[in-house]
Amino acid sequence: MERLESNQDWLKDILPEGLPYPTSNIISGPGGTGKPLIGFDVVNDWLKAGGDVIFLPLQYPKTDFVKTSLKKLHDIDTEDYQGRLSYVKFDLDVNSWEKTAKNELKANLLKPGVWDEVIERAEENFSRNQDPGTLVFASALNLVLFSPTYKQASLDKLEELLGEDKQRTYLVAVSTSAFREDISRWEDAADTLMFSRMEEGMRLFLELKRLKNERISTREVEVPIQKETLQEIKEVAEGVRKRKIPALKEI
């Protein structure tokens, strides 16, 4: 098992020997606790180590938020990583998936069969194949559980991806504000389990609960993200709940 070493002190505190890969990793916690922003810190390390990234942010209608966040948090200009980044937009209006730009696709991720195909198509944009490989960074996965028709199939499919796909590294963020018992299936399937929480004054904390095949002492660290940035992500999360969840409940 290889290790991704971090350039960030707080992440070194929680993972002193680095993040093992290829593995599946899940960040759980209540809605609005900055989980995607924590994920961007791992993305930063992954890109600087030479890896490729597929973004599947289910809560963002456009790729601009991803690009802006990487610039704001880590001074990453995504134009400098052409051929190493792909974006997948969650779109309920397409039957399966469609390519919309060289490195952008839209896909109806409620349909379990779409996941494998869209990930493979997103990888076709990558111009090289070198260590540490592909990171699939997905956020707000809990949204698919609001569909009565597709809930069970989505649970099964994502449990399969997290538990069985060892070609890639997965980093997923999921809100536990709803479907807590169901989400525990994904947590059990993942190699690495982390919990986020927020204290008064918008102080963000991350706790490591499990690391694949290793004995650990449970660790919690404060994540140094500015209050204004955390407030922004919280507003985005609230906007998603108002906009997407009612539509998903009708499917």
> Residues with Cβ < 8 Å from 73, sequence gap 6 or more?
37, 40, 41, 44, 225, 229
Q: What is the pLDDT of residues 65-99, one digit of tens each?
A: 888 888 888 889 988 988 999 999 999 999 999 99
| Domain count within the chain | 1
What tokens were used for 104?
């952008």
The mean pLDDT of 164-174, rounded to a whole number, is: 94
Rounded Cα gap, residues 251 and 28, in angstroms: 25
Q: What is the pLDDT of residues 123-150, one digit of tens each?
A: 998 977 778 999 999 999 999 999 999 9
**Residues shown for the chain:** 251
> Residues with Cβ < 8 Å from 161, sequence gap 6 or more?
24, 115, 170
What is the CATH classification number for the domain harbouring 232?
A: 3.40.50.300
Identify the domain containing residue 206 by its residue range.
2-249
Rounded Cα gap, residues 174 and 180, in angstroms: 10
pLDDT beyond 80 at 225: yes
pLDDT of residue 33: 83
C-alpha closest to that of 223 among 60, 54, 75, 13? 13
DSSP structure class, residue 88? E
Q: What is the pLDDT of residues 104-124, one digit of tens each?
A: 999 999 999 999 999 999 999
Rounded Cα gap, residues 17 and 168, in angstroms: 20
Number of Cβ within 10 Å of residue 108's Cβ equals: 18
Rounded Cα gap, residues 212 and 169, in angstroms: 13
pLDDT beyond 80 at 39: yes
